[in-house]
Amino acid sequence: MTVQVAVLASGRGSNFKAIADAIGAGRCDAEIKVLITNNPDAPAIQIARDGGIPVEIVERKKFKARDDMDDAILAILQRHGAKLVVLAGYMLILKGKKLLGAYRNRIINIHPALLPAFPGATAQKDAFDYGVKVSGVTIHLVDETLDAGPILYQEAVDISDCRSAEETAAKILKVEHSAYAKVVDSFSKGHYTVEGRRATYVRD
């Protein structure tokens, strides 16, 4: 069954666009109900407008506490009927207990490295600088931890031929785009249960 998705993005929005394009091409059984961003200048906003997707801007400075901000996001998610929350370059950590509770096992994030290697915001550069020959993409559930929720999907990327951090990021990004649409699509046919660190896919 088509899954109703909310995308949270803070910047460029190429993963958001890749998912929207995959939906348009019939490769991903999902409907993007809303784009939520904390950044009023995010290029992702134009992508949403071009695709006729509603945009909600939720700025950090409008709220005293982070919990209040995440409560506002939760209200938007519910108003738009989101069943799955897709973080695509969302640069704030979701902290609201109500939000994390309401969407338990239904918030996903993409990370441009093979976690638990190279967590954090500079994963591709860190992998390149370290000299690893294989890095990749991780898609994981979002919980109270940082970049450490149960892993749903990983794909390795050979970066041995990359000559810079930028080349590394570009090669990984291509794989992010196909991988994220695949995982979003999986939510249209099933869900994930979690035991300890292990996420298991269950077909509905």
CB of 41 to ligand GRF, least distance (A): 13
Q: Residue with the closest Cβ to ligand GRF?
A: 89
Pairwise CA distance, residues 67 & 85, whole Å: 17
Nearer to ligand GRF, 71 or 155 (CB): 155
Q: Using DSSP bridges, classify how beta strands 151-158 and 134-141 pair: parallel, antiparallel or unpaired.
A: antiparallel
109 Cβ neighbours under 8 A, 6+ residues apart: 87, 90, 139, 140, 141, 142, 147, 149
Asked if residue 112 binds ligand GRF (CB under 6 A), the reply is yes
First CA to last CA distance, the chain? 9
Pairwise CA distance, residues 112 & 115, whole Å: 9
Asked if residue 176 binds ligand GRF (CB under 6 A), the reply is yes
Restricting to residues 7-26, which ones interact with ligand GRF according to CB under 6 A? 9, 11-16
Asked if residue 56 binds ligand GRF (CB under 6 A), the reply is no
| Segment interacting with ligand GRF, rule: CB under 6 A, options 20-28, 71-79, 104-112, 152-160 | 104-112
- Is 111 part of the annotated catalytic residue set? yes
Pairwise CA distance, residues 110 & 123, whole Å: 12
CB of 48 to ligand GRF, least distance (A): 12
In the complex, the residues that contact ligand GRF under the rule CB under 6 A are: 9, 11-16, 88-89, 110-112, 173, 176
Active site residues: 111
